[in-house]
Structure 1
């Protein structure tokens, strides 16, 4: 066993996040930590990393083992290039290599016992160098950088010129190269394209240590993990198998629990009816029998009704009116930035009723294309036309459509001034914002919460042409499934 959490409790004010949470991870095991947004997954990781203290309970790491942690948001800075940032993880190997070179020079001019001593040191150090993959560390760095979607031209880019997503990829690369005994990864696939996710799956399957992952990517978890640790309403439970095995087992357990609850309720009602009947006879003998049955009934261990947890947003997408058959026509569209041509001479059409995916690796211009269609930036050449009665609903992954200085309530009421306060509150409750939550500033929200506000605005837009840029980023698994359902039934 490499990591064990024992009876961890954590509350923030009145809100209980974790109660008596216990689980363990074996050496070389790949496990997932899942739960809805706000369930306490990141809190648990921060407790394991000693960034937060639990109210009670212990975290035990096996002797001489070390942990590497990838948080969701990375703030790497400095004047390094991407390559320099990653090679810094191999400094001990570079030092060893330099020492070997200087020993070679010394041996040229040394004789006798001193030479024997140098040769012994050289042999020992060479062996160590080989064990630590010293002859291949440069190609290992190149492999990780390319696997995470960086091109050779990117290697010399300065860290401070990178986007948040690119910094997270650099941090992930550093962590993989450092090869700690246990990897703690919080949403590692959020900023990766399909190719990089596939590379990461293979890397983690062959990783020599243990891996503990928080992720809302069901397909990724299915490929990578063999154990699932779930947090639900503060309680923790372990399941063996991948995500699909967990989902099946969970549904079966819930079903069995509900049946047992209903059966017991039926028995209790029957017993209560018998007791009432016996008492109605008003004879000493039947009253005694009634009392004895009551005592037996009091001793019954009551099964709790399975909790229906109110943590699922409700979304329905309905266009206000039908567009013409031609929705979008793009003709010979081109866009470049200094030193980089993103795309040139692109033409395509979208008709009413079609569902279209725009795919490509990171940096190929997908978001730029969507921004051009939404009139946020201009193309260099070419044009696009929208069909008759086409109304766009745009969900942008960076949430630029949200105003950081506004509260959630203001964001909705300013965009839709005809809605009453009750209508806004009811609508926000469907996206899990209740009570004083609606007065939180947009700037203070997590990625998942901003995503839900953007989806709420999208729903209210009643648009007939939805353009969605990474709509599932930061959404938990339940919310993703609800969005899938809403899009499948969108007319």
Structure 2
């Protein structure tokens, strides 16, 4: 049974086509991975099926009485509410039923016998619904899911306006999972989750009885939770049965078949053209040449598989710094209160260190404090000699009206237009994306613009905050290679062990430094 059917969708932005005559179906109980390179239109597709975007052509058909839950990372949380209150909102309809039951109780005092019987029946129905829905276990459910995603470490009584972008995403995801919709639509849910909480989400989705569509570039995660892959490429959407590894095996076979078919056709066309050129002028063979020409005209051309622009990351190295990049003396990080115990740590020249640990414990705050962007809560940071840092920030401005070209040019005004275009192309952005506004680029494309800016500066220490978030598989591999090849020092926050475990020199786990009970 199909719970969602998409028929012959075409859509574009300006003169750029995103989808062309695309169809899709989601069957009951299917766990679908929606994959593709950055900028191919995965998030756009989810916006179309949820009605946030109207396609230029085609239609979207949902089955009756389907409850859809969509993790939209741009959803605004109501200021003044705590995390616990937001999560309890997932059961709003049950609280409304409880209120209705209380009102029925008030009306019973003045009801006649006939009305009383009807009210008692209504109250019984509501009571059964509340009990079967686990209404009296709501707080336990809230804490179970919240702790599974690391919200307990942040604090359930923390107000949502004080949360970082990553923490807000975790709250939205927890609320969505508590709602238990018929269909889950998840756009990169593992971003901002550490390993422990990705494992929890993996188990949750493996046991999820209903359907879901998941956008992710995390191969290990996809392999564990999906049984169908839809691949977005060159304005098309292709269905594969199996997980990501199954898709890759079938995709490589398909691509090889396409290349072979293209090459065979090109050889046939060359033979026909050669025969026509040699025989069309001779009276005796003109008829055969005309016959070959008709055959040539009827050939339906096979397109050669197009290679996507691949990023090439390379970080320029500045002069060699002193032995120590920085040392701390009883450093405590925090804003309104301390997040850590006093830290006496140092980063030495040439080290490559991954910072890990639950969200909300201060990983981003630690980076900003070490760089001097925010003051320490207590203690101090001492920088070594000749330290020239390059910083990649986790979040960007989603309302940025500048084009990618203008964004880079504004920081490097002496560059020629050719140099700016070349720098962005090296990061894997095509001509149509270079002139697009930053706010319409995908999260991965925005990250590539920020990485492109970082590559233009000479530095001897790279400070990176979740650099793999939103990046597609190829971009992650290229970034990994560039960081391995970089001769300087690297300090970065990351939740993907498979990205860093074979090239770093050490791991710093902030959970060992935190004041909070994990």
TM over 0.5: yes
Q: Which residue of 1 aligns with 2:78?
A: 77
CA contact (8 A) 1:74 1:164 kept: no
CA contact (8 A) 2:4 2:60 kept: yes
Summarize the Cα distance change of 1:287–1:337 in structure 2 as closer, same or farther, 3 Å threshold: closer
TM-score by length of 2: 0.82
What RMSD in Å do the two structures reach over aligned CA positions?
A: 3.6
1:144 aligns with 2:140: no
Q: CA deviation at 1:221?
A: 1.8
CA contact (8 A) 2:328 2:343 kept: no
Q: Which residue of 2 aligns with 1:356?
A: 353
Q: Larger C-alpha radius of gyration, 1 or 2?
A: 1
Q: CA deviation at 1:414?
A: 5.2
Distance in 1 of aligned mates of 2:381 and 2:344: 10
Distance in 2 of aligned mates of 1:300 and 1:440: 37
Summarize the Cα distance change of 1:85–1:144 in structure 2 as closer, same or farther, 3 Å threshold: same
Q: Which residue of 2 aligns with 1:392?
A: 389
Distance in 2 of aligned mates of 1:235 and 1:122: 52
Unaligned 5+ runs, structure 2: 488-518
Summarize the Cα distance change of 1:290–1:449 in structure 2 as closer, same or farther, 3 Å threshold: closer
Give SS of 1:25's match. strand
Give SS of 1:156's match. coil
CA contact (8 A) 2:334 2:365 kept: no
Summarize the Cα distance change of 1:171–1:132 in structure 2 as closer, same or farther, 3 Å threshold: same
In the TM superposition, what are the counterparts of 1:320-399 in structure 2 within 5 Å? 320-323=318-321, 326-352=324-350, 354-399=351-396
Count of paired positions: 486
Summarize the Cα distance change of 1:441–1:241 in structure 2 as closer, same or farther, 3 Å threshold: closer
From 314, 317, 340, the equivalent of 1:316 is 314
From 456, 459, 478, the equivalent of 1:463 is 459
Give SS of 2:152's match. coil
Distance in 2 of aligned mates of 1:403 and 1:351: 38
TM-score by length of 1: 0.86
Unaligned 5+ runs, structure 1: none
Distance in 2 of aligned mates of 1:195 and 1:162: 20
1:48-105 deviation per Cα after TM superposition (whole angstroms, max 9, x unaligned): 1222222221111112222122212121214332212221222343455567789999
Distance in 2 of aligned mates of 1:91 and 1:191: 27
In the TM superposition, what are the counterparts of 1:246-325 in structure 2 within 5 Å? 246-277=247-278, 282=282, 284=284, 286-310=285-309, 312-323=310-321
1:332-362 deviation per Cα after TM superposition (whole angstroms, max 9, x unaligned): 432243344334224244341x321111111
Distance in 1 of aligned mates of 2:57 and 2:332: 59
Q: Which residue of 1 aligns with 2:516?
A: none
CA contact (8 A) 1:72 1:188 kept: no
Give SS of 2:264's match. helix
Q: CA deviation at 1:172?
A: 2.0
In the TM superposition, what are the counterparts of 1:86-101 in structure 2 within 5 Å? 86-96=87-97
Q: Which residue of 2 aligns with 1:164?
A: 165
